[in-house]
Amino acid sequence: MLDHSSRPLPSSEIAIDALSEVLQDFRLSGVNYGRCELKHPWSIAFPEQQLLRFHFVSHGPCWIYTETQGWQELNDGDLVLLPQGNAHRLASAPDVVGDSLQSCQITKLGSNVCEVVRDGAGASSTLFCGSMSLGAHALNPLISLMPPIIKGCDVAGNDPVISPLLIAMAEEAAQPQMGSATVLSRMADLLAARLIRCWVNCSGASTTGWLAAIRDPNIGRALAAMHRDPSHNWTLESLAKVAGQSRSVFAERFSAVLGEGAAHYLTRLRMQLGRDLLVNNGLSVAEVASRLGYESEASFARAFKRITQVSPGVVRRTSSGRTAMEFGS
């Protein structure tokens, strides 16, 4: 399919549940958490960024504003997930303006956890907020299909575990102890994964596109295999074998559901991973080519430019790399 090394097929058995295969390596990386104690009136703006955000309200008042849905009140124990990191605002009331973050005292509790305190005489709000990238590249196409904001309470009825998790988070945030930040971050991992799964299960019966593909019992297995081991020397024959179909049936079905052939989809996936390695990991073009299974830097560079319209060397030189994330920025 591409100029790749001939590594053997992964020894582990491909899971039948393709969504579980995609979610199994789910981790929230590059995470920054903030535990907030804010006295009314307060208002904090969160600009758009390419990161997943979530906010958990241990104790209100708290409102959230997004351009698509306007102001919405959040109750105690509510969790909201913003998969694409859309611009939004949190406030103790819709009529509070300005940016209260400037008047907050921010204390680092660790390398990626901070405490945000705003003193005053008004009612107190306790929040737990997170800003993070997704370590599982398999989720990228799924995240792009999700709505700009998901409220945990809207899907809690479809997953009996979500409500107890929200209650546990509320108790942990209300009475912080040694290690609370770590406990809360692990709960956030699980909650985000389960919210994503609930959305997939409740988002309608699409017949085409990535969501339909991951639900397809045959195409889904092949799609998950590509995302799990994108550097493997996948061929149409080996992917069809994973899918449990003939080569011709698999090729036709994959193109019908995804709107492109398996070879082109796999190349785009590799180039997305390659860009991430160049931008965020500081690897050389040769190192990225080797990591993605290409036998030569030149073959990787040709594929990269064909898909992205720019050479990998230019991406590496112009990238400033991963920058530190600040709460609210």
User: pLDDT at position 239, please?
Assistant: 96
pLDDT in tens, 82-97: 988 899 999 999 999 8
pLDDT in tens, 98-114: 889 889 999 887 667 78
283 closest CA partner among 319, 251, 253: 319
Evaluate if residue 312 carries a pLDDT over 80.
yes
Boundary (domain end) residue, out of 159, 176, 202: 202
User: pLDDT at position 319, please?
Assistant: 66
CATH assignment of the domain containing 99: 2.60.120.10
In a domain, 209, yes or no: no
Which residues does residue 82 pair with via DSSP β-bridges, in sequence order?
53
**Same domain, residue pair 295 and 263:** yes
User: What is the residue range of 158's domain?
Assistant: 27-202
In a domain, 12, yes or no: no
Tokens of 129: 């907020």
Alpha carbon 40 to chain centroid distance? 32
Burial class, 138, CB count within 10 angstroms (exposed 0-12 / middle 13-18 / buried 19+): buried
61 closest CA partner among 85, 36, 83: 36
Give how far Cα 129 sits from Cα of 31, 60, 253, 285, Å.
10, 14, 42, 36
Q: Provide Rg for the chain, Cα atoms.
A: 22
User: pLDDT at position 145, please?
Assistant: 75
**Same domain, residue pair 188 and 248:** no
**Same domain, residue pair 52 and 183:** yes
In a domain, 16, yes or no: no
The pLDDT of 30-50, averaged and rounded, is: 86
**Same domain, residue pair 192 and 265:** no
Half-sphere exposure of 235 (CA within 13 A, CB side): 12
**Same domain, residue pair 111 and 256:** no
Boundary (domain end) residue, out of 169, 202, 235: 202
**Same domain, residue pair 144 and 49:** yes
In a domain, 8, yes or no: no
Number of domains into which the chain is organized: 2
The pLDDT of 245-253, averaged and rounded, is: 96
The pLDDT of 297-318, averaged and rounded, is: 92
The pLDDT of 163-177, averaged and rounded, is: 77
In a domain, 325, yes or no: no
**Same domain, residue pair 197 and 253:** no
Evaluate if residue 10 carries a pLDDT over 50.
no
User: pLDDT at position 184, please?
Assistant: 75
Q: Quick one: residue 77, left, alpha or beta (phi over 0 = left, psi -120 to 50 = alpha)?
A: left
CATH assignment of the domain containing 230: 1.10.10.60
**Same domain, residue pair 114 and 231:** no
In a domain, 163, yes or no: yes
In a domain, 137, yes or no: yes
**Same domain, residue pair 83 and 45:** yes
Beta carbons within 8 Å of 274's beta carbon, 6+ residues apart: 288, 289, 292, 300, 304, 312
Distance, in Å, from the CA atom of 329 to the CA atom of 320, rounded to the nearest integer, reads 17
**Same domain, residue pair 226 and 198:** no
Give how far Cα 285 sits from Cα of 84, 120, 134, 230, 265, Å.
28, 53, 23, 17, 21
Averaged pLDDT of the chain: 81
**Same domain, residue pair 118 and 241:** no
**Same domain, residue pair 226 and 172:** no
SS3 at position 295: coil
Boundary (domain end) residue, out of 159, 179, 202: 202
The pLDDT of 56-76, averaged and rounded, is: 92
Beta carbons within 8 Å of 99's beta carbon, 6+ residues apart: 43, 44, 45
User: pLDDT at position 130, please?
Assistant: 82
In a domain, 277, yes or no: yes
